[in-house]
Amino acid sequence: MHADAVSWVCTRIKRNSRASTTFFLVSGAVAARAIDPSFDTNYGITWGPDHVQSIDQGREIQLSIDNSSGSGFGSKLSYGSGFFSLRIKLPDKDSAGIVTAFYLNSQTDRHDELDFEFLGSNKGKPYTLQTNVFANGQGNREQRIFLWFDPTADFHTYKILWNQHQIVFFIDTVPIRVFKNKTNIGVNYPSQPMQIVTSLWNGESWATDGGKTKIDWSQAPFKAQFQGFNIDGCTSQNSNTQPCNSSSYWWNSEKYGALDSIQESAYEDVKTKYMTYDYCSDRSRYPTPPPECPQ
């Protein structure tokens, strides 16, 4: 069931009894699980196969890393637009130096890429989430936020909306980054077919405290779990992604062309309370702000 339809049904049922609401939520969860495809339908292991475990008949995948190898998986197809998501539970313990990544990548020389990178931390300290946007090989657009919840305690849904209007990174329903299409002023915008990729890897040279805090391998193996292998995307196997801008795809509709007022408020709240770095504000790096700033 489409998310808009689910929202409408939830609203209708909540007007009835508490028992009806409970029944719908349980039934809806069971239905969603029943139609959620297994991992092998849309994805395949890309590296470290002996560090990948399939759970619940492929409804969950666990990546692990130790001092011999990390691991990863990727989509079998590439996409030219879509609303991409995975449910992820991050490594616990003292995970400093460990990077859990969920991203889109065009796999080309002058590549496009949209990154979620979760930077491990010492136990008791908040996880840092770094996002980045590459277009035509140009990146260096990092933003970082502290997560306002414990991402190791349960699964959360991380989403990337990519259409011809904007790119939006979400945590559950909260937008945490927006990158608008500003090609009209000469800013490159991702337009190449991209594969969905995940990995669990050694980033101790930079990920935690600027590389000062190294991985404690006595805590290994570090494990991350992934669920939700359905893909809402327009497949594109050649360089022309123009057909993927069609309004026949729901994520290209006017509704997804800009944040609504509630989303705008939530986005501003994230920037005010949790953002720790924004390349747009880094004058030592960019004395003149990049043309796409502010976003």
Q: Which residues are catalytic?
A: 113, 117
- Cβ-contact 88, 225 below 8 angstroms: yes
CA distance 42 to 258: 29
Name the packing angle between helices 3-14 and 18-35 (round to 10°): 160
CA distance 229 to 235: 15
Sign of CA dihedral 146, 147, 152, 158: negative
- In Å, how far are 43, 90, 111, 140 from 143, measured between CA atoms? 28, 19, 19, 9
First vs last Cα of the chain: how many Å apart? 32
- In Å, how far are 94, 102, 160, 228, 239 from 61, measured between CA atoms? 21, 14, 20, 10, 31
- In Å, how far are 72, 138, 253 from 225, measured between CA atoms? 11, 31, 32
CA distance 228 to 263: 23
- Encoding tokens for residue 267? 């986005």
CB atoms inside a 10 Å sphere around CB 154: 9
Bridge-based pairing state of the strands 98-105 and 166-171: unpaired
Give me the count of residues in the chain.
295
Element (H, E) at 219: none
- Encoding tokens for residue 90? 């991050």
CA distance 273 to 174: 13
- Encoding tokens for residue 217? 């391998």
